[in-house]
Amino acid sequence: MSEAVKLTCAACGQMNRVPVAKLAEGPKCGVCGAALADGRVHELDAAAHDKALRGDDLPILVDYWAPWCGPCRMMAPEFAKAAKALAPRVRLAKLNTQDFPDIAGRARIQGIPALVLYHRGREIARLAGARPAADIVAFVQQKLGAKAA
Protein backbone atom coordinates (compact mmCIF):
# COMPACT_ATOMS: atom_id res chain seq x y z
CA MET A 1 0.00 0.00 0.00
CA SER A 2 1.32 3.45 -0.91
CA GLU A 3 2.11 6.16 1.59
CA ALA A 4 -0.80 8.55 2.24
CA VAL A 5 -1.11 12.06 3.65
CA LYS A 6 -3.94 13.59 5.65
CA LEU A 7 -5.51 16.75 4.21
CA THR A 8 -8.34 18.84 5.62
CA CYS A 9 -10.98 19.98 3.15
CA ALA A 10 -11.23 23.80 3.31
CA ALA A 11 -14.86 23.61 2.15
CA CYS A 12 -16.37 21.14 4.63
CA GLY A 13 -13.62 20.50 7.19
CA GLN A 14 -13.50 16.74 6.57
CA MET A 15 -10.13 15.04 7.04
CA ASN A 16 -9.13 13.02 3.94
CA ARG A 17 -6.38 10.47 3.37
CA VAL A 18 -4.73 10.88 -0.02
CA PRO A 19 -2.05 8.59 -1.48
CA VAL A 20 1.11 10.64 -2.09
CA ALA A 21 1.27 9.25 -5.64
CA LYS A 22 -2.17 10.81 -6.34
CA LEU A 23 -1.41 14.34 -5.09
CA ALA A 24 -0.56 15.66 -8.56
CA GLU A 25 -3.85 14.27 -9.97
CA GLY A 26 -6.06 16.80 -8.17
CA PRO A 27 -7.55 14.77 -5.32
CA LYS A 28 -11.03 15.71 -4.13
CA CYS A 29 -12.74 15.55 -0.75
CA GLY A 30 -14.51 12.24 -0.19
CA VAL A 31 -17.47 14.03 1.43
CA CYS A 32 -18.15 17.21 -0.58
CA GLY A 33 -16.02 16.74 -3.71
CA ALA A 34 -14.03 19.98 -3.27
CA ALA A 35 -10.45 20.04 -4.53
CA LEU A 36 -7.83 19.33 -1.88
CA ALA A 37 -4.45 20.03 -3.51
CA ASP A 38 -5.23 21.75 -6.79
CA GLY A 39 -2.80 24.66 -6.69
CA ARG A 40 -5.46 27.19 -5.73
CA VAL A 41 -5.63 29.33 -2.61
CA HIS A 42 -8.46 28.22 -0.32
CA GLU A 43 -10.25 30.49 2.15
CA LEU A 44 -10.35 29.00 5.64
CA ASP A 45 -12.86 29.50 8.41
CA ALA A 46 -11.84 29.11 12.07
CA ALA A 47 -12.64 25.39 12.29
CA ALA A 48 -10.88 24.45 9.02
CA HIS A 49 -7.88 26.61 10.01
CA ASP A 50 -7.43 24.87 13.34
CA LYS A 51 -8.05 21.38 11.95
CA ALA A 52 -5.68 21.85 8.98
CA LEU A 53 -2.89 23.25 11.13
CA ARG A 54 -3.20 20.41 13.65
CA GLY A 55 -3.86 17.48 11.37
CA ASP A 56 -2.53 18.01 7.85
CA ASP A 57 0.58 16.14 6.79
CA LEU A 58 1.47 18.61 4.03
CA PRO A 59 2.92 22.02 4.87
CA ILE A 60 0.41 24.86 4.69
CA LEU A 61 1.20 28.53 4.18
CA VAL A 62 -1.53 30.79 5.57
CA ASP A 63 -1.98 34.39 4.44
CA TYR A 64 -3.58 36.34 7.29
CA TRP A 65 -5.30 39.26 5.58
CA ALA A 66 -8.30 41.62 5.65
CA PRO A 67 -10.46 43.01 2.83
CA TRP A 68 -9.72 46.65 3.79
CA CYS A 69 -5.94 46.09 3.51
CA GLY A 70 -4.55 47.50 0.24
CA PRO A 71 -1.26 45.53 0.34
CA CYS A 72 -3.25 42.35 1.08
CA ARG A 73 -5.42 42.86 -2.00
CA MET A 74 -2.36 43.72 -4.11
CA MET A 75 -0.59 40.52 -3.02
CA ALA A 76 -3.57 38.21 -3.66
CA PRO A 77 -2.69 37.46 -7.33
CA GLU A 78 0.95 36.84 -6.38
CA PHE A 79 -0.11 34.49 -3.60
CA ALA A 80 -2.25 32.61 -6.15
CA LYS A 81 0.76 32.29 -8.50
CA ALA A 82 2.84 30.93 -5.62
CA ALA A 83 0.09 28.39 -4.84
CA LYS A 84 0.32 27.02 -8.39
CA ALA A 85 4.12 26.88 -8.22
CA LEU A 86 4.19 25.04 -4.88
CA ALA A 87 1.36 22.57 -5.56
CA PRO A 88 0.85 19.78 -4.76
CA ARG A 89 3.54 19.52 -2.06
CA VAL A 90 2.51 22.68 -0.18
CA ARG A 91 -1.00 24.09 0.19
CA LEU A 92 -1.73 27.82 0.41
CA ALA A 93 -4.71 29.24 2.26
CA LYS A 94 -6.08 32.55 3.46
CA LEU A 95 -7.74 33.56 6.70
CA ASN A 96 -9.68 36.82 6.96
CA THR A 97 -8.52 38.41 10.22
CA GLN A 98 -11.50 40.78 10.23
CA ASP A 99 -13.91 37.83 10.32
CA PHE A 100 -11.79 35.75 12.71
CA PRO A 101 -9.92 38.14 15.06
CA ASP A 102 -9.61 35.44 17.74
CA ILE A 103 -7.61 33.23 15.33
CA ALA A 104 -5.39 36.19 14.41
CA GLY A 105 -4.79 36.81 18.11
CA ARG A 106 -3.89 33.19 18.78
CA ALA A 107 -1.53 33.25 15.78
CA ARG A 108 0.08 36.43 17.18
CA ILE A 109 -0.61 38.38 13.98
CA GLN A 110 0.48 41.97 14.59
CA GLY A 111 0.34 43.30 11.04
CA ILE A 112 -1.08 42.18 7.72
CA PRO A 113 -0.47 40.72 5.29
CA ALA A 114 1.32 38.08 7.33
CA LEU A 115 2.38 34.73 5.89
CA VAL A 116 2.86 31.88 8.36
CA LEU A 117 4.18 28.49 7.30
CA TYR A 118 2.99 25.49 9.33
CA HIS A 119 3.85 21.81 9.13
CA ARG A 120 2.29 19.04 11.22
CA GLY A 121 0.94 21.38 13.88
CA ARG A 122 4.03 23.54 14.28
CA GLU A 123 4.85 26.99 13.03
CA ILE A 124 7.96 26.77 10.85
CA ALA A 125 8.45 30.44 9.88
CA ARG A 126 6.68 33.70 9.12
CA LEU A 127 7.07 36.47 6.59
CA ALA A 128 5.58 39.95 6.95
CA GLY A 129 4.39 42.25 4.20
CA ALA A 130 3.22 41.94 0.62
CA ARG A 131 5.58 39.87 -1.55
CA PRO A 132 5.83 38.81 -5.19
CA ALA A 133 5.19 35.16 -6.02
CA ALA A 134 8.90 34.42 -6.53
CA ASP A 135 9.71 35.64 -3.00
CA ILE A 136 6.89 33.56 -1.50
CA VAL A 137 8.05 30.42 -3.32
CA ALA A 138 11.69 31.03 -2.34
CA PHE A 139 10.68 31.58 1.30
CA VAL A 140 8.78 28.28 1.44
CA GLN A 141 11.48 26.31 -0.35
CA GLN A 142 14.19 27.73 1.90
CA LYS A 143 12.27 26.91 5.08
CA LEU A 144 11.20 23.43 3.99
CA GLY A 145 14.24 22.46 1.93
CA ALA A 146 13.69 19.35 -0.20
CA LYS A 147 10.13 18.83 1.18
CA ALA A 148 8.82 21.65 -1.04
CA ALA A 149 10.38 20.34 -4.23
Query: Which sequence positions are flagged as catalytic?
Result: 69, 72
Nearest alpha carbon to residue 22 among 7, 40, 41, 4 = 4
Please classify residue 6 by burial: count the beta carbons closer than 10 Å to its beta carbon, then call 0-12 exposed, 13-18 middle and 19+ buried: middle
Nearest alpha carbon to residue 117 among 88, 99, 93, 98 = 93
